[in-house]
Structure 1
Amino acid sequence: MKKITKIIPNIFTLLNLFFGCISIIFLQSKLFEYSAIFTTFSLIFDFLDGFISRSMKIENKFGKELDSLADMVSFGLVPSIIVFLLFQNMNGNQKIIPFIEWSSFLITIFSAWRLAKFNITYYMDKKNYGLTTPVNTIFFTSLSIIMKKYIPSNNINIIIKKMIFSPIIMFFIIFFSCYFLITKIPMISFNFYGISWKKNKKRYLFLLMSLLLLLTLHMIAIPCIIILYMITSIYFHRFNRKKLH
């Protein structure tokens, strides 16, 4: 029975990998919405494998390595393919910068770097450094759906779309994404310490702002919330450093 219990998290990890592969298949046909659905399944099973491991107090080196390999496909390769396809949609056959779309695979490279680093350092330091690969994937997945579905095709929005989804802007988004994947800046943890406002002030404020964004911007709120998360984390990191000095 113990042996069966130990493999349950690994089954969820493999399901994460399986749905990541299906997501890639849909991306080949530029079906971003269907890809997003299966990426969501990957995210769910990625959460469940860790949750069950912690709940059952299962420590498995094999499972940890398997999890990283699954994440490389679902949250390392998938966002790179999304960005590669977004680059192709931006200019059609006209390329402002030759081969700029290949820069999208920097996300895969830096995701691999982060996952390898995480495997080495996680048990030594449990702080939540940088942007996780699943959150990074949510960011780029939401961008793909926004570009395709959630910006109405009127003159003003077409101009905004061209500005935001331009090759140069996307290149800088890739650069910052890669930086935050491997940065040592501690991100806000959502482990609540009771229900006290004083002890959880920054968490409550962030959740409140996120809720307001979701109610007003809907799907467009998702990348905004992730950017807000990074900015808020940097602010509190600098604020805490000033207090120490």
Structure 2
Amino acid sequence: MSIKSQIPNSITLLNLFSGCIAVVYAAEAQYELAFFFVALGIFFDFFDGFFARLFHVQSELGLQLDSLADMVTSGVTPGLVMYQFLRSLPMEGVLAPYLPYVGFVITLGACFRLANFNIDTRQTDSFIGLPTPGNALFILSIPLVVLEQDFGWIASFLTQPWVLILISLLSAYVMNAEIPLFSLKIKNFSMQKHALPLGFMVGSAILLVLLGYLGVIIVILAYILSSLFTQLKVKN
């Protein structure tokens, strides 16, 4: 194997390493650090495929490594964060001790999506269902919005156990739903072809600066809605 062929795989392993660190911080309920290392892992995930295409070294091994790394960074971590956050909230009733485990439905949904992605030939230039990295950032932003305490009624809404359970279930569904979403991965340097994702990323950056972690939640929701709107325009 050439050194060039191992560069994308090495970047993928950095994604996995970041995910492992994120899991540790999630287990300790240090949500901000968990978010940082998930975001770092997603950064590496963005570029492993880019360099594989740039160097023309795409491989089946790289595809499998990518999904295994994403499973930790964008599958196990958000499920654990939701479990920890639910467990920290006051709940009553005989089922209260068991309800936090619903958070791991997110992990199950991510696992199913990643396995299905590897065998779905339709998802080459676009996605069907919300990609696991976007879902992970959405989930990890929830406790951070609450801790920021800058958005009173939103924070109050996001500390309702039934809301979090519903979000967990919807999260697993949206990752695997037949919803066409445009890809944010840049495969070449064509500005015309990538105008939509580039414009979306610029707008997202502005929202993140203005709204912080709440901006992450809005960006992910906007990503889903804008993709649906684009698809409706194409059909009409």
Name the counterpart of 1:100: 99
Task: Could you tell me which runs of 5 or more consecutive residues in structure 1 were left unpaired when the two chains were aligned.
Answer: none
Native 8 Å contact 1:90 1:167 kept in 2? yes
Aligned length: 232
Largest Rg, 1 or 2: 1
Q: Residues 180-199 of structure 1 correspond to what in structure 2 (within 5 A)? A: 180-190=174-184, 194-195=191-192
| 1:66-105 correspondence to structure 2 within 5 Å | 66-91=65-90, 94=92, 97-98=95-96, 99-105=98-104
* C-alpha distance 209-50 of structure 1, shift in aligned 2 (>3 A): closer
**2:6 aligns to what?**
7
Q: CA RMSD in A?
A: 2.7
Partner of 1:22: 21
Correspondences of 1:122-161 after superposition (within 5 Å):
122=121, 125-148=124-147, 150-152=148-150, 157=152, 160-161=154-155
Residues of 2 paired with 1:210 and 1:28: CA distance?
A: 29
Q: Which runs of 5+ in 2 are unaligned?
A: none
Please point out which of 204, 210, 225 is paired with 1:231.
225
| C-alpha separation in 1, matches of 2:208 and 2:102 | 31
- TM-score normalised by L of structure 1: 0.83
Q: TM-score, normalised by structure 2?
A: 0.86
Report the identity percentage: 28
Structure 1 pair 5–206 and aligned structure 2 pair: CA distance change class (3 A): closer
> Residues of 1 paired with 2:221 and 2:172: CA distance?
14
- The answer (yes or no) to whether the contact 1:16–1:46 under 8 Å persists in 2 is yes
| TM-superposed deviation, 1:209 | 5.2
Deviation at 1:112, TM superposition (A): 1.1
Match of 1:176 in 2: 170
